[in-house]
Structure 1
Amino acid sequence: MTANLSQTLTLLLIEDDDGDAFLVEELLNQAQAPPRIFRARNLREAKEQLTPQIQCVLVDLSLPDASRLEALEEVLALAPHTAVLVLTGLRDVHVGVAAVQSGAQDYLVKGDVDARLLARSIRYAMERKRADLAQLKLVQAELTAQENARLESALLPGPLLRSSAIEHVTRYLPGSGGTLAGDFFDTVQTPDGSVHMVIGDVCGHGPDEAALGVALRIAWRTLVLAGQPDDTLLRTLDTLLRAERKAPEIFTTLCTATISPDLSHATMRVVGHPPPLLVRDGEVRVVTETPSGPPLGIFADAEWAVIDVPLGTEWSMMLYTDGLIEAAVGEPSRLLGVEGLLDLVREHGAIDLDRLISHVGTLSDDLAVVMVRRCIT
């Protein structure tokens, strides 16, 4: 009966016995589409032939340079994404069972093999390996999602606001890679009625950068609640960044704003960060064209100038990370940029985060936005 291997496969047979190897090759040649078979007589030769083109490995556990399961462990380490089928002697059935428990997809007893059984075992081994890899990816994705959710809740907390005179809206979208970055924001109202805000962006992507963003966000909130002045706060954050970062080239941009208790004035520091937008008396503009100073983590003796921003009685303000202005928009796609962002706000007549984000196409980076508006009663 013709063996059922309906597509041409590339196999590696690791077998030191020429007679056994000849038998396996003859059985495989009876398949509908005989596979390409590479032969290795020992583990050393197998290492040289285990290329990504190999779709299934048939390995004898009695090799001259590896004892029993040692050969399997080496093969699994060298080809973690390849199906492995173990060949055993009649007296070594228990070793075959142990091999499956150690990671092989199946085992065959040499004396009981025919063409149909061998073809079916290879096909099933490949399907089991494919299912195992799919399950592993699913588990990894679930773990990543859980970790991202945990970090995101720490990066993007709820505001500590007591005043109903302030409307506070936030949005966050992950970049196209799906990996959480170090964007963070926070808003705290202190007992004197002042509203303190921060938005920041740790350069890079991944759990280390996200964790660093969490540390900086929590430190900022702690320092604000402790009543520390802005200059001390920024120097402390700079020191913390240098102590906690994994590499000396990692820096952080951020923007801080403190709105006075009567909500008519703000002081800001733009620390190497994109300039905030302000809508005041119907006019849309950037708060400043010139940043207060460089990002955190660049210069040890950096200083950051204060930007005074009169707000008046009716206003709204938007702080954002560079993922927004670096987003692709339009056909053909182009970067939004600060001028494009200003045009969108002018077109809408107000800062509407959902309408703004609806214009955004592919994100190359995480996008975080905070909008505050004085509520006129």
Structure 2
Amino acid sequence: MSLTPEQVQIIKATVPVLVEHGTTITTRFYQNMLTAHPELNNVFNNAHQVSGHQPRALAMALFAYASHIDDLGALGPAVELICNKHASLYIRPEHYDIVGTYLLAAMKEVLGDALTPAIHDAWAAAYWQLAKLMIDREEQLFQASQGWRDWRDFKIQRKVRESDEITSFYLVPVDGGQLPGFLPGQYISVRMEVPDLKALQARQYSLSDAPGKAYYRISVKRETGLNMADPGSAAYPGYVSNLLHDHKHEGDVLQVSHPYGDFFLAAPTDAPVVLLSAGVGLTCIMSILNTLTESGSPRPIAWIHAARAQKIRAFAAHVADIVHAHENVHTVLFTSNPAAEDVRGVHYHHEGRMDLARLDREKDLFVGDKRAQYFVCGPTSFMVDMEKALKGYSVEDERVHLELFGAGGVPKA
């Protein structure tokens, strides 16, 4: 249904209410919906529920939607990001019915009589306007998946330790069928049973190798903070990563989604590419780097990476080989805590956190070339810092591409 002009004004007028009560509403919404529909625990990230991250992210999304209700084009990038994630989780139209019912009920429960019939009807119309937009976009993504519209069984063909924290998993389809291509930078969802939760849980992992191989490769960081042997351990976003590291072995089967994601290297050009990553953010960057170098691209490429220590930096030898073989590629490495045996200029170039001011503006960042593209992946604070620094060099927003781990969005610098 379309919103009337009066309903648009009502939605905009409720923005202060969302600022004050948004997280309370979304927390109540998730509690009530998951109690009534426990099967949806197989869809939603349990760790993000316990930490409060998912309710906060939904509250922020509602606030953004209400604020731009008369300019939905401004929400295009956010909607594209969410739709890709929904597609990777195989969200169905019927899920939107359930969400709408419990979201409106939570608004009534929290706001009471302040949610008048007119406000309720305006938000019902607004919800279904957005839901239809997303359902239609997700159907487009499904139609482009060459018939792969549900979870597919994959076997772990190889399991390779890349560093003290990161392990790669080479995944091949159990059915022996063809693997669709993907755009370098995209991800797959991986779903498995989590015994402690008595539920299936899915996580998104960037594909860490170039497309066109007989396997999909993901490279997973072990998220510390969860003791799997302690039944009293607090939930932490590491259930799946710990299971992968400790309990999934070569030959084991996982459920995998078709590749999705709105962060990717687009059509080839000769423009310079700057790859900025921190920690496990290098996984999607590695897919881009491998794609460029394996294709013989002559584009100037700089990979600038930050890690806490050399022993946790994955793919160090592989990247060194790339630099040796490709004169158009160079790297700059930051290490927060170099070990006594680390050699400056070999194992790292700069000590401390990544700081673009310590780099050569032209050799490392190509800021003089207005065609240069920047791909940034790492913790949210890192991405915000890099985006702000690049803006300081007059790099336009459309040339800066940010990847996202987890729910929610990357705050704008």
Normalized against structure 1, the TM-score is what? Answer: 0.22
Q: Which has the higher contact order (CA 8 A, sep 6+)?
A: 2
Normalized against structure 2, the TM-score is what? Answer: 0.21
